[in-house]
């Protein structure tokens, strides 16, 4: 058995290693043992909370995880289909020792994954993930459950969605209302299909809901944050004020303004950060993003006198830098946005509510509010690879990267990195014009295909 954890938990194709029932049982045992310490005291039973998105393989992994947890004398509490940030919140607000989410986020339905939160609702550190991985891969640890007679039980948390929605409402000003707004939601046939429509309707908006009919196989299929084109069309045809697209597990947000233009995570973060500074609530005058952020973000922040710290790719690393520098807003261009003054992880619905709240505070429509940042032309090509050797050890690839960087000078940049969750290499180029950016990105991608494809 090989390495389990990537940049966002354990992920892969369902029913293939490591996303198998057998490994899920072992992960359940390891989480129960490491994060709760286990319990054989009937007066105080430790518990682990489990949630999932709408993938057809979700229940299979849910039952396997619950079995592993119970085998260690710990109770498993299943919350059913709920956004990832919902499990983060519920774990922190109850007496759960840990929370587990079964989801592959924006990946296609045949993939799945396992994300783990500690008792405070934060994703695990590299050290904690490493310890769990050791326990999962250790056959001796799997036998420890044999001596446990007081096994745990499984129960269902029936009001998980209402509890999560109530939390989101508490994040808003007391008099906050969406009356008079027409909002189009694209829930990606994923975990937000209940909570998303519910909260925006209860806040008074007229809601047009798309992709809210999950069948186990249509999650993220031509919809959601990865495919906002249809959302853009509906916003225009319905003359809506804004369009909001979430990903399969609800921790990402992509926005469409009233003109049908798609705004990236960087644009949303820039607009919110500038607005928060105006309101006097931007702690330490700081925004944290990743090395993938568009050059235009840095320009916009500099123009508005806002400090900018960059982290490695992955919302977990953004969170680490936010805590290190005492920042309350951070995120990724992909749509992960963290508002640490209110939540411990990225939350697409909360990000949407914070965005709209700032828009209303400044009395600006979406297109005006999101114009804070000018996006430099950017091209991203994902190349399937058979292996992931260090980039600098590949002479031909290193040479073409140096060549492009030299030609771009200070008018662009190149970033070539492997995906932490899939067998692919991501080639990203930013440049002065769309044509130049496209040409250089394709040139590098062609070499990646030749060397690693």
Two tokens, residue 100: 């587990």
User: Rounded to a whole number, what is the distance in angstroms from the first to the last CA of the chain?
Assistant: 24
Q: Is 403 a catalytic residue?
A: no
Given 39, 67, 71, 105, the catalytic residue: 105
The helix/strand/coil state of 185 is strand
The helix/strand/coil state of 332 is coil
Question: For the chain, what's the residue count?
Answer: 453
- Regarding beta strands 329-331 and 182-186, do their DSSP bridges make them parallel or antiparallel, or are they unpaired? unpaired
Task: Say if residue 228 is exposed, middle or buried (CB neighbours under 10 Å; 0-12, 13-18, 19+).
Answer: buried
CB 17 within 8 A of CB 118: no
Omega before residue 18 within 30° of 0, cis:
yes
CB 8 within 8 A of CB 113: yes
Which among 353, 346, 375 has a CA at the least distance from the CA of 264?
375
User: In angstroms, rounded to a whole number, what is the distance separating the alpha carbons of residues 23 and 14?
Assistant: 11
User: In angstroms, rounded to a whole number, what is the distance separating the alpha carbons of residues 197 and 184?
Assistant: 10
CB 124 within 8 A of CB 5: no
Residues forming the active site = 105
């Amino acid at each position: 058995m090989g390495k389990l954890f990537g940049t966002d938990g354990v992920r892969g194709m369902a029913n293939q290693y490591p996303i198998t029932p057998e490994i899920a049982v072992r992960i359940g045992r390891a989480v129960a043992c490491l994060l709760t310490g286990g319990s054989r005291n009937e007066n105080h039973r430790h518990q682990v909370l489990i949630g999932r998105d709408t993938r057809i393989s979700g229940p299979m992994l849910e039952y396997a995880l619950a079995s592993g947890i119970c085998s260690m004398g710990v109770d498993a509490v299943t919350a059913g289909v709920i956004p990832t940030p919902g499990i983060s919140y519920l774990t922190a607000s109850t007496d759960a020792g840990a929370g587990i989410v079964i989801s592959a986020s924006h990946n296609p339905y045949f993939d799945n994954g396992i994300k783990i939160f500690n008792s405070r609702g934060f994703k695990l550190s590299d050290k904690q993930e490493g310890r769990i991985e050791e326990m999962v891969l250790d056959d001796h640890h799997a036998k420890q459950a044999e001596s446990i007679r007081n096994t745990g039980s499984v129960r269902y948390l029936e009001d998980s969605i209402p509890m999560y929605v109530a939390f989101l409402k508490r994040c808003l000003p007391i008099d906050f209302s969406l009356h008079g707004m027409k909002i189009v939601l694209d829930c990606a046939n994923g975990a937000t299909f209940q909570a998303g429509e519910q909260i925006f309707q209860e806040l008074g908006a007229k809601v047009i809901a798309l992709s809210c009919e999950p069948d186990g196989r249509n999650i993220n299929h031509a919809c959601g944050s990865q495919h906002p084109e249809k959302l853009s069309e509906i916003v225009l045809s319905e003359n809506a004020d804004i369009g909001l697209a979430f990903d399969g597990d609800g921790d990402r947000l992509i926005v469409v303004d009233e003109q049908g233009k798609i705004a990236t995570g960087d644009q949303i973060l820039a607009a919110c950060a500038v607005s928060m500074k105006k309101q006097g609530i931007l702690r330490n005058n700081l925004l944290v993003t990743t090395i993938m952020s568009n050059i235009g973000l840095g320009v916009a922040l500099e123009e508005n006198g806002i400090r900018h710290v960059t982290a490695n790719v992955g919302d977990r690393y953004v969170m680490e830098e936010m805590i290190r520098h005492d920042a309350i807003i951070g995120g990724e261009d992909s749509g992960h946005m963290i508002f640490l003054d209110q939540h411990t992880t990225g939350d697409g619905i909360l990000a949407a509510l914070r965005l709209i709240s700032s828009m209303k505070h400044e009395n600006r429509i979406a297109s005006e509010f999101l114009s804070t940042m000018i996006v430099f032309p950017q091209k991203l090509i994902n190349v399937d690879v058979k292996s992931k050797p260090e980039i600098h050890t590949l002479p031909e690839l290193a040479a073409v990267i140096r060549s492009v960087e030299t030609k771009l000078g200070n008018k662009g940049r190149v970033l070539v990195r492997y995906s932490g969750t899939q067998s692919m290499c991501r080639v990203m180029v930013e440049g002065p014009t769309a044509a130049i950016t496209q040409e250089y990105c394709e040139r590098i991608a062609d070499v990646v295909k030749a060397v690693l494809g």
